[in-house]
Structure 1
């Protein structure tokens, strides 16, 4: 029997490591080693061979079910029961409970778990007892019985810890993270998942793709659909290779949900249909129904015939109710209500919305969907104010959720969940023509992350070490590129370090506080003689709300796509000329093309507003990639003070923080980075204008020294090479001695200078997310507490940068505010793309 026992132990180990194919092979070999089973069930006393056979069959049942053969697993458990006396059947009951749960028979599963716990004792079967508690907790979570689930998980964790069962202790912590995810506490969930990943790597590597699936779900809840999809792509391959059929199918469904958030409903339908086929193959009706619901969502998003969508929604709603999935039933009913509105059947839609009111424990997306459907019903019935109230309430719900997130990356990502509410609300406001209503909605739907109070996360030694190593890797990569050496290993190490840094930043919990949006009357008072232009998307078209001289008017501009195309052409022209020596004829031709493209962009976004704006200073509140317009290059803006602010509310808040003027005696920090021929002369020239400035050059200009000096300065000027990181804008950085100072470095600053000047290329660029949430070096500084950031939205020639920056500080010293100083400092024929962000 020794060989059979050894094979049984090896099979259990393979099951624990989530390798069911290998487990099944070893367990069947164990049965063969035992010899042929008795033809008649054992009665009375059970011998050692019978006990071992029964235990092997129980373990083999799990291996078979993990590969999708659940009925085979249940049959094996029936066979095992004949070889195990009642007192030995605790693990069998627990295993049967898990298999029943996977086929949607939850009530029967609960009975089996109860039978298992009635037999198992801590002294004799601590591992089996802990496993049953773990599996019952998973069932409770699926049924939204969070209190019962948490109690079982804590009992499991205590038991596993007491008896040295590390593989079960880490699964309990993993599932506590999943409970946090269900409760909407994404930072805590991600923190627990990171802890579980370390233990899984050591104890159960086969669980890592299952953990990746759960982490992807948390990232989707935070709106980071690109990152979630990457996580799922890797997990899918691993889950398929391990033949973990249930998790493999769930990963397909999660990819469908990621595609929906990304605005790719056709891809979502494909992934959801694949998931449905996989769940059907596993005979799992509940998950198969959930896949059908995602197919329905995808069809609705692609504009399928509303009447057909409504009919299918009713069918799926009834299916969900029959399967005991009330929240999913409500979602189906609400999708049906939206389709009925589109079909003109408003009364039926109203009844469906009333029946679909969310429960207290419903997910965020369900609550937002109910608000959206309610708003559409009210609007179709002519109740505009009621419709607006539902939309506003939905966005407030989202903002409360966002306030739990303590990291700018997550806060900006979460806006995607309110995308439909925002579009509907802004479109309805534009249709009214009411300036006050349009202004209120313009503020509700943009840059909400910067209105969320920021937190200083606690010191994180692991993240700090990763940041420091990443600096060294970036320097080594640059040296390798210059010398022509391969840098693949360095690049891969850098990507791994970036993942660590970013993930640790996600752990920060929010303050749960919310700032109030500014009122139109307050903005008019604060503008004084200046004008404000708020650019607004209206479907494919661009509008502008202009506030100037006591007047307010909405102006129809052209198509957004035309403005974006003109902007990209202009920025390409500017980048092509920066710092490059060209033959005179070519240079003349390129500059002429640049001027034509600048005039074309101006004609699309600024010239139609000049009758209202006149010669006033302008505060621009952009939408989409218009945040990167090089305003000083546009003919009508040359020599004109222009400030770019994420929203009117953030402009007002930044203005209140900024000193009325930056005096020559202001505490000033001047930094010159390495490898920049004009950096030291630029800093030296500015130092002559700034008495007692702190100057960091050469070996003194390190990231650590610069950050320490930032905390003591009112004004900071950094002349260094800059790089905008397109994959994650918070890894954008200034090249200093020993490596870059990055956006992630700013989150721990106790104080931030009121004004930061980045005399660098590209660091005024931003990534734009749904809800006009922008992410870049300038955003990171504004979020950290800076009031004004001056940075370039493109490459800048060294001579031009030094000339403009020196003149800028001279104008500040003369008492001009930042935007006016930058306008004076920038020659009319300059192609430098410096912008004043924040408060001008």
Structure 2
């Protein structure tokens, strides 16, 4: 007997598409088209309404906003032809969501209000829940929460699990905005359980995205990264929209101090939201972009983005959001100039709106900004009142908000003329941030989040300078610098995932070296680098108390006959603190810009001198330029500090001084100079016990003379050099060595400093590779161009390959801080190791070796001049 095939009717097809559009929007597009066609053939207007609505829903999730709206309108018309007010109302509900995403909340509310009277039971509950979403996006948080709370029992009573799940996700988003994190997390976890029960994988991605937002606002960066990474994978697999995930990722990166990455992510999110026609999100992402631009010292872009966001919010009728954009623009303007000339009444109106919006962070920043502005305008009564309200944030909430509350308290104490109160509040705020940062396991997160300390540290330093006590100035100079480097390194267990990703990246780098490689491998390399960063950033540290600044008396005892000088910059002026024979002195040195201008000339002069092909006249001219700039720099930095004369030096630079080749200065030539990011770090490195173990000497490929240099140095130490070693082999030897010499091409990755590298035979040895070691050598010599240069982050936090050796426990590092030809380093390196083998301290050996190679010609002398000794030096 012949089998009879079942052909589903139009209604059955339409209902099936509704389910598919929820589960897999991209796969639902074809079936939706077929269901609409079937409804047309059968002249079933009701089925047509359902199918058109499902088609629009699928398009909505795929980012085709205009097409989605067209199908929702068709759904309404079909429902009206069928005489079904309920079906028309269902279509209007979907249309309202699309209109909201297009940035038309008022129109969305009108569609919902048209739909509600024609619905009852669970559909009516869903409509009212949708109304709450629109109210939330419009900045009316109290009304929205009340509506969510009123509707949820109805949905539960009717057994509408899908409606409950959707409401919980959206209510959690609102609760997160209000910093009710525990309640938001509970809603999301229940929504996730319902999504799994209903077989809705895409919704699990949306739940993860919102959990990522909760963790971002709570300040748990590793957890937020894990959730957003999971969300992005799930949502991309289902072909759904990524604009919101990208927006939340940009917010997370900004909260972590990763400003360049946040700016990049925000720019991509703006483009994605535009492409997906999610115009509601465009101005919200612009605010992130404005903040990132401001922190990147690009006030023009910051102000322009804030103004554009404000205009877009105003067009959307979102008053509270428009005020937040106004505040963002005002803050950006103040960072680059005098206080903005805005009427006090206008500022007061902004504060009132943001205080009533239910956003704790925005309310705090509005009061803090308005309070500072009032004080700047000599209105202490108003200013102190606003700061007093802002200071209440120090008692509760995420660490960053509590720290900002302490900053408000410190400003309040300053206006009261209470320097002790300022210092107490600033210390308390720093303690909050340091306790929070102690849980971060990734070096770049630890360094970049130090930017959150800037306002508090500067206020403490300014208060100390005004007080005139050198000891207090020294304490705050130390509190404000390299605080994250002072924490012990994170020693994770064997990380097979990281090892695999790094091996894959090395393979990609080797492929890129081929003539046709870079164009093909660049996207893959960028994707691998992001996976490595995200993986490492999810690592947690064990925490522990923050390191307190070393006391001057302890420092003086450790220095002995040495002298220490620490430079600091405040309000564009350079100052120096010196410690000689236990005595601390403070000196004012003048404008920092003068030093920066002279410093810019040194790398050019050294590079010209190091060019072996240059004409003698050119090398002589470069030598004259170097001598002139170095002499003037020496006078600016050391001229007012006669107490340093004739002593071995410990120098603690700030800002651009970290890239100064100290040996070119007349005061430092032939003199043992140890460089340290802070006096506290030098004291710790100096106290470290001398290491035991062998000497490791390794050379990388493609570097003229590296092999011969390695052979000569290995002979000095009576060891065999590694001249064809892989990264894993070299790392294994480093983990056992007390002294290591690495001669290889060095690269500083300015955008992502932990991808700075040395080139070995199977690819780059990265700063990230050092995280895999249980220990690093006590003394490391990097005979590579630029290998000692670091990216200097806010607070004199350093990131780079050389800084990674120091952060992972190396007591001293000899490396170059300027780009010079690698081939010219051999004379210096051989002499340096001969002196080290004779037992000379590293700083002494380097100074004597630099003096010894001066007779080898200008190229060798220039190459030698770029090297510094970072760390103990002894």
TM-score by length of 1: 0.92
Question: In the TM superposition, what is the alpha-carbon distance from 1:676 to its structure 2 partner?
Answer: 2.0
Cα shift at 1:606: 2.7
Cα distance in 2, alignment partners of residues 751 and 76 from structure 1:
65
Report SS of the residue matched to 1:212.
helix
Q: Do structure 1's residue 296 and structure 2's residue 330 form an aligned pair?
A: yes
- 2:575 pairs, out of 500, 520, 543, with 543
Confirm or deny that 1:690 pairs with 2:717: yes
User: Counterpart in 1 of 2:210?
Assistant: 175
Query: Is residue 2:303 matched to residue 1:277?
Result: no
1:491 aligns with 2:525: no
Matches within 5 A, 1:409-448: 409-448=444-483
Residues of 2 paired with 1:112 and 1:347: CA distance?
Answer: 39
Q: How many angstroms apart in 2 are the aligned matches of 1:362 and 1:33?
A: 51
- Residue 41 of structure 1: aligned partner: none
Q: Secondary structure at the match of 2:485?
A: helix
Distance 1:459 1:11 in 2: 49
Q: Is contact 2:290-2:328 (8 Å) kept?
A: yes
Cross-structure match for 1:502: 533
Structure 2 counterpart of 1:402, from 437, 444, 451: 437
Q: Aligned runs of 1:224-235 on 2, under 5 Å?
A: 224-235=258-269
Shift of 1:327: 5.3
Distance 1:799 1:325 in 2: 59
Whole-angstrom distance in 1 between the partners of 2:358 and 2:816? 57
Q: How far apart are the structure 1 equivalents of 2:113 and 2:477?
A: 64
- Which of the numbers 315, 320, 323 marks the counterpart of 2:354? 320
The answer to whether structure 1 residue 640 and structure 2 residue 671 are counterparts is: yes
1:46 aligns to what? none
Preserved contact between residue 668 and residue 694 of structure 1 (Cα < 8 Å): no
For residues 159-196 of structure 1, the C-alpha deviation after alignment (integer angstroms, 9 at most, x for no partner) is 11122111111111111111111111111101211111
> Which residue of the other structure, out of 187, 201, 205, is the alignment partner of 2:222?
187
Q: Deviations over 1:261-288 (max 9, x none)?
A: 2344443333222222222222223322
1:835 correspondence with 2:865: no
Relative to structure 1, the CA distance from residue 14 to residue 569 in structure 2 (aligned partners, 3 Å threshold; closer, same or farther) is: same
- Residue 45 of structure 2: aligned partner: none
Provide the secondary structure at the position in 1 that maps to 2:280.
helix
1:305: how far off? 4.8
1:87/1:123 CA distance change after superposition, 3 Å: closer
Q: State the SS of the aligned residue for 1:713.
A: coil
* Post-superposition offset of 1:80: 3.1
| In 1, Cα distance between equivalents of 2:341 and 2:104 | 38
Classify the secondary structure of the residue corresponding to 1:695: coil
Aligned to 2:243: 209
8 Å CA contact 1:717, 1:756 repeated in 2: yes
Q: Write the distance in 1 (CA, Å) between the matches of 2:492 and 2:659.
A: 30
Structure 2 counterpart of 1:200? 235
2:56 alignment partner in structure 1:
11
Over residues 178-225 of structure 1, what are the superposed CA-to-partner deviations in whole Å (9 max), with x where a residue is unaligned? Answer: 11111111111012111111111102431x221111111111111112
1:278-677 alignment runs, 5 A limit? 278-305=312-339, 308=342, 310-325=344-359, 328-359=362-393, 360-457=395-492, 460-480=495-515, 485=516, 487-513=518-544, 514-609=546-641, 611-659=642-690, 666-677=693-704
Return the offset for 1:757: 0.8
Distance (Å, rounded) in 2 between the aligned partners of 1:576 and 1:730: 29
CA deviation vs aligned residue, 1:338-384 (integer Å, no higher than 9, x gap): 22322333344333322332334445554344333433343343322
| Change beyond 3 A, Cα 1:541–1:82 | closer
- Counterpart position of 2:802: 778
Contact 1:346-1:377 at 8 Å conserved across structures: no
Which has the higher mean CA deviation after the structures are superposed, 761-770 or 400-409?
Answer: 400-409
CA contact (8 A) 1:317 1:328 kept: no
- 2:513 is paired with a residue whose SS is helix
Confirm or deny: 8 A CA contact 1:532 1:619 kept in the other structure: yes
Question: Bigger CA drift: 266-275 or 210-219?
Answer: 266-275
> Which residue of 250, 262, 272 maps to 1:238?
272
Deviates more, 1:212-221 or 1:12-21: 12-21
Q: Please give the alpha-carbon distance, in whole angstroms, between the structure 2 residues aligned to 1:397 and 1:284.
A: 34
CA RMSD of aligned residues (A): 2.4
Equivalent residue number for residue 14 of structure 2? none
Offset of residue 565 of structure 1: 2.0
Bigger Cα displacement from structure 2, 830-839 vs 594-603? 594-603
Contact 2:784 2:822 in 1 (8 A): no
Cα distance in 2, alignment partners of residues 522 and 806 from structure 1: 36
More deviation in 812-821 or 393-402?
Answer: 393-402
Deviates more, 1:594-603 or 1:80-89: 80-89
Partners of 2:538 and 2:782 in 1: how far apart? 29
CA distance in 2, matches of 1:122, 1:172: 23
Between 293-302 and 529-538, report the one with greater CA deviation.
293-302
- 1:87-106 aligned within 5 A: 87-106=122-141
In structure 2, the CA distance between the partners of 1:324 and 1:194, relative to structure 1 (3 Å rule), is: closer
Structure-2 residue corresponding to 1:138: 173
CA, structure 1 residues 752+295, in 2 after alignment: closer, same or farther (shift >3 Å)?
Answer: same
2:739 maps to 1:715: yes
Question: Displacement of 1:596 after TM fit?
Answer: 2.4
Contact 1:268 1:295 in 2 (8 A): yes
Residue 540 of structure 2 aligns to a residue whose secondary structure is coil
Kept in 2, the 8 Å contact 1:331–1:366? The answer is no
In 2 relative to 1, CA 330–117 (structure 1 residues): closer, same or farther, beyond 3 Å? closer
**For 2:352 and 2:626, how far apart are their aligned partners in 1?**
61
> Contact 1:463 / 1:504 at 8 angstroms: preserved in 2?
yes
Measure, in 2, the Cα distance between the counterparts of 1:338 and 1:110: 33
Cα distance between partner residues in 1 of 2:733 and 2:643: 44
Q: Which moved more, 1:63-72 or 1:445-454?
A: 63-72
Q: CA deviation at 1:622?
A: 0.1
Paired residue secondary structure (2:81) = coil
Q: Distance in 1 between matches of 2:342 and 2:112?
A: 44
Q: What are structure 1's unaligned runs of at least 5 residues?
A: 39-48
1:644, distance to aligned residue in structure 2 (A): 0.5
User: Number of matched residues?
Assistant: 817
